[in-house]
Structure formats: C-alpha cells, structure tokens
Amino acid sequence: MPFRKELEKYLEALRSAHAENLVSVIFYGSAILKDDPRSDEVHLLITLKKISAEDLAAGATSMKTWMKGGYPAPVYFTESELNKGADVFPIEFNHMRHAHEVVFGKPVLSEINITNANIRHQVEFELRSKLLRLRRAVIETSPTGKDLVSLMANSLPSFISTMRAAVLLKTGVSHVDRPKVAKSAADEFGLDGDVFKTILDIRASGDAVKIEDADKLFDRYLAQIEKVIKTVDSL
C-alpha cells in the first residue's frame, strides 16, 4: 500500500515527538478493508499517557507532513479518556473496534468497556436529532420538487451511518457499503428498503424523480426514519 510508507514516516515522527508518552497508534475505519485506500479514508487514533500543551505542540509539528499528504488529522485521547469516554462515544468507539489495526503500542480499543445500553442510547439520540434537523430544514426552506429530492439525497448518508450502528448493535455485523447497510437495516427492522434504494440511486446518478412524486417519496422516507427510531427505542 502506498500510504504505508507515509504511515511509517509519521509513526517515526510520533515516536520522536512523544517518546515514552506515546501509548498507542491505531489505524481504523473502512480503509482497513481496502488495499489502496484514498488518503482521506485513512484515520488514526493516537493515545498518550497525558496530554499537555507541550504534547499538543509536539503533535502539531509531527502532524504537518502527514496532513500535507491529504490525510485527516488524527484523533488524540489519553488512556483514561478512552475508558471514561466509552459511555459518551460508544458508536464511534464500537466502529473503531470492529475495523482497526494496531500500528504501534497497546491494543487500547480492546480494553475499553462499551455497553449495548450506551450504544442504543446514542443511536436513538443521533437518529432523533437528525430527524429534527431534517424537519427543520423543510420548515425553513419549504423545498419542493428537485430541492426536496436533494434534501433527501444529502441527508440519507448521515441516517445510514447511524443505522449502521443500530444494525451492529442488533446483529454484531458491521457493513461499510451504504447500500448494504440500508438493506440490512430494512431487513432487521422491517423497513421499506425500496425507499432507501431509490434515494441512494438518485444520489449516485444525480437524476431527480418527477416533481409530482417528490412529496410522496419524502413522506415514505420520513415514515421509515420514524419506524427505525421506534424500533431502536424498543431494543
């Protein structure tokens, strides 16, 4: 993999910058499953024993070359924060845990305690928050026709990301591909999968449905989101 050489250089810079304070460097996310991921898909979790202003300054210096390659800025945590934050970020940590590689140091993700109760709570919170934002967007802009279709196409990926966590919670299986996540959510929660497929196809092709059909599709879309929230609430 081309990025591996860049990762080795960055790891060397991190070890120089943080020395004995560096606990772990973990590569995580969907890029784990690809032989040659795009640079913006390569995510890193860096764990330190402590994080002071001096540590952040050292991290910033080593990070500059890494980010010049188009790679996202890594996420910094202390070991203590990872354990204490498991109840606040259970979805994110759970996804990391299901697709990650320890590049250096301790397997810190395998040591944190993530409960299904906390995952379920965050999934419901995220879904309800996204639904409220979607309704507000409709109220504030009164979109019709192509604009309404664009609103659905732009909002669905965010819902699918959270539904992925819901599917993982229920089945223990984590999908990366959006159509697979949408189909799994439909199968597991009794949803109308055709709604999600239609919107994903529109998003991929850029073709808008007939204007007279937009309102109907949006009503079906809302109904599925409301249904998955109700199902998650009962888990």
CATH number at residue 15: 3.30.460.10
Q: Note the pLDDT of residue 209.
A: 66
Average pLDDT score over residue span 103-111: 93
User: 3-state SS of the chain: helix, strand, coil percent to 5?
Assistant: 70, 10, 20
223: domain CATH number is 1.20.120
Query: Other C-beta atoms within 10 Å of 192: how many?
Result: 14
Residue at which a domain ends, from 111, 133, 157: 111
pLDDT in tens, 50-75: 999 999 999 998 888 888 888 899 99
- Within this chain, do residues 172 and 132 fall inside the same structural domain, yes or no? yes
- Within this chain, do residues 103 and 206 fall inside the same structural domain, yes or no? no
Give the residues across from 76 on adjacent strands.
46
> Looking at the 3D structure of the chain, how many domains does it have?
2
- Within this chain, do residues 120 and 106 fall inside the same structural domain, yes or no? no
Q: Note the pLDDT of residue 210.
A: 65
Residue at which a domain ends, from 54, 89, 111: 111
> The whole model's pTM is what?
0.77
pLDDT band at 97 (very low <50, low <70, confident <90, very high): confident
- Within this chain, do residues 127 and 93 fall inside the same structural domain, yes or no? no
Give the residues across from 44 on adjacent strands.
27
Q: Is the pLDDT of residue 42 over 70?
A: yes
- Within this chain, do residues 143 and 195 fall inside the same structural domain, yes or no? yes
Write down the mean pLDDT value for the chain: 89
Q: How far is CA 62 from CA 58, 92, 179, in A?
A: 6, 25, 38
- Within this chain, do residues 88 and 120 fall inside the same structural domain, yes or no? no
- Within this chain, do residues 33 and 105 fall inside the same structural domain, yes or no? yes
| Beta carbons within 8 Å of 49's beta carbon, 6+ residues apart | 20, 21, 23, 78, 79
pLDDT band at 159 (very low <50, low <70, confident <90, very high): very high
- Within this chain, do residues 46 and 132 fall inside the same structural domain, yes or no? no
Q: Note the pLDDT of residue 111.
A: 86
- Within this chain, do residues 185 and 91 fall inside the same structural domain, yes or no? no
Q: Note the pLDDT of residue 17.
A: 93
Domain that holds residue 174: 116-233
pLDDT band at 208 (very low <50, low <70, confident <90, very high): low
pLDDT in tens, 112-129: 888 999 999 999 999 999
Distance CA 44, CA 88 (A): 19
Side-chain-side CA neighbours of residue 84 (13 Å):
5
Q: Is the pLDDT of residue 31 over 80?
A: no
* 3-state SS class at 49: coil
- Within this chain, do residues 11 and 83 fall inside the same structural domain, yes or no? yes
- Within this chain, do residues 106 and 127 fall inside the same structural domain, yes or no? no
Distance CA 31, CA 142 (A): 38
- Within this chain, do residues 142 and 213 fall inside the same structural domain, yes or no? yes
